[in-house]
Amino acid sequence: MAASNGVTWPADVFREMQAREIKTVCTVPDGGLTQLLKMVDADKGMRLVTLSTEEEGIGIATGQWLGGTRAMIAMQSSGVGNCINALGLPTTFRAPCLMLVTMRGQWGEFNPWQVPMGQAVRPALEAVGVKCFPVDKAEEVGEVFAAAADIAFHGLLSAAVLISQRVIGAKGFGQK
Amino acid sequence: MSTPTPNKIQRRPFVAELLKHRGDALVVPGLGSPTWDIFAAGDSPEYLYSWGGMGLAVPTALGIALAQPKRRVLALTGDGEMMMGIGSLAVVADQAPPNLTILVLDNESFSETGRQRGLSSGRTDLCRVAEGFGIARTMLVTDQERMPELVKFIFTAPGPSFAVAKIAITDDPWRLPEKDGATIARRFRGALGL
């Protein structure tokens, strides 16, 4: 897979998804996910499910596992808050749940509206039993994603990969 | 706080009659009353009982329908549960699984929590909402005599489709199925050969 703008982690994640037969990606999109979502959308063997709110993805991914296939949910950190009650579903069913979260509200954030939820992502996820895998180096995203996917699908647990804003790059809105 | 409705359909005999005709359809009930209704009609590993996760019946049923395209999937939920996950109807319309049907048992109230008035008791028309989201096939049922038509609509006509049954507020005895989620999931997957 050709890298775009020298960014290679989306292709790394895509490769690890394919190796594990994760064929459905449920998402409310984020800028940091653009390249990965394009790859999924372009692949005829995969399904991109656009959501109205992130918690729907928790239900859909749980349903996919109940029906014998694998899915994941990709979202911006602000969407994590929408998922908290829903995360009781896979936990109670003892179903796997794999989340890929691109972080806002941390490294070099310009927009103060992103900060409260961004700072609460990890404690909120851990409070409902989700194993968190933060990663702040682009070259490590693929292997961290693979590790989280394996603990989710083999351990029948909920796991979230939290890709730092340091990897994505802060959105500066053209301001100094 | 609660408002009596003129709805006639009695939920327990209605659901029991409907399920007699389900064939091998998988049933994903919403939490609470719809789960008690289907268990009252009989137990099956193909019933994914729910005691929580309000708003997730349709998304969960959608995930199952996409994973099991050869099986009919029925999301059987209440009006409050449907309203909480109402945006998921846009996702259903977008994915358009032909094997998914949604049936809302609409008593226009939050009957589990004390019969407080629900949002479908007034100006909100759930079938029109579903149509607006892009689910073209909808059906409103106010009388159990339309059961044969509803059975065809739900279990054999192409989906995705969306039906509303206007049900009475009734006093029904608790019928509580298995509540351990891991057990419910294991037997559901087992019934699919997984």
pLDDT of residue B3: 58
Q: What is the average per-residue pLDDT within A48-62?
A: 98
Contact B60 A86 (CB under 8 A): no
Bridging pattern class, strands A70-76 and A131-135: unpaired
Distance from the A95 Cα atom to the nearest Cα atom in chain B, whole angstroms: 8
Greater confidence (A173 vs B114) lies with B114
pLDDT of residue A172: 76
Closest CA to B102 of B73, B133, B145: B73
Mean pLDDT for chain A? Answer: 94
pLDDT at residue A142 greater than cutoff 50:
yes
DSSP A105: S
pLDDT of residue B138: 98
Q: What is the average per-residue pLDDT within B10-32?
A: 97
pLDDT at residue A156 greater than cutoff 50:
yes
List of residues 6+ apart from A75 with CB closer than 8 A? A27, A28, A30, A33, A54, A57, A83, A99, A100, A101, A102
**Digit-coded pLDDT (tens) for A8-44:** 999 999 999 999 999 999 999 999 999 999 999 999 9
Q: What are the domain boundaries of chain B?
A: 11-191
Decide if A142 contacts A13 (C-beta within 8 A). Answer: yes
Q: What is the average per-residue pLDDT within B41-55?
A: 97
pLDDT at residue B141 greater than cutoff 70:
yes
**Digit-coded pLDDT (tens) for A116-129:** 999 999 999 999 99
pLDDT of residue A167: 93
Distance from the A155 Cα atom to the nearest Cα atom in chain B, whole angstroms: 13
pLDDT at residue B47 greater than cutoff 80:
yes
DSSP A33-58: GHHHHHHHHH-TT-EEEE-SSHHHHH
Mean pLDDT for chain B? Answer: 96
**Interface with B, mutate which of A25, A53, A54, A62 (most B CBs under 10 A):** A62
**Interface with B, mutate which of A22, A47, A66 (most B CBs under 10 A):** A66
CB-based contact, A64 to chain B, within 8 Å: yes
**Interface with A, mutate which of B26, B27, B49, B64 (most A CBs under 10 A):** B64
DSSP B128: H
Which residues on B lie below 8 Å from A47 (Cβ)?
66, 95
Show the domains of chain A with their CATH numbers: 12-167 (3.40.50.970)
pLDDT of residue A23: 97
Distance from the B103 Cα atom to the nearest Cα atom in chain A, whole angstroms: 18
Enter the pTM of the model: 0.96
pLDDT of residue A1: 47
pLDDT at residue A107 greater than cutoff 90:
no
pLDDT at residue A98 greater than cutoff 90:
yes
**Digit-coded pLDDT (tens) for B146-189:** 999 999 999 999 999 999 999 999 999 999 999 999 999 999 99
Q: What is the average per-residue pLDDT within A154-161?
A: 98
- B134 vs B60: CA distance, rounded Å: 19
Element (H, E) at B154: helix B147-155
Contact A59 B56 (CB under 8 A): yes
pLDDT at residue A83 greater than cutoff 90:
yes
> Which of 3.40.50.2020, 3.30.1360.170, 1.10.510.10, 3.40.50.970 would CATH assign to domain B11-191?
3.40.50.970
Residue A171: phi and psi, rounded to 5, are -90, 115
pLDDT at residue A4 greater than cutoff 80:
no
Which residues on A lie below 8 Å from B60 (Cβ)?
59-60, 62-63, 66, 89
pLDDT of residue A73: 98
pLDDT at residue B5 greater than cutoff 90:
no
Element (H, E) at A163: strand A158-163
Residues on chain B bordering chain A, Cβ-to-Cβ distance under 8 angstroms: 28, 48, 51-68, 85, 87-88, 90-91, 94-95, 181-182, 184-186, 188-189, 192, 194
Distance from the A87 Cα atom to the nearest Cα atom in chain B, whole angstroms: 8
Query: Band of the pLDDT at A5, cuts 50, 70, 90?
Result: low
- B108 vs B120: CA distance, rounded Å: 5
Closest CA to A140 of A131, A128, A148: A148
List of residues 6+ apart from B88 with CB closer than 8 A? A52, A56, A59, B55, B58, B59, B62
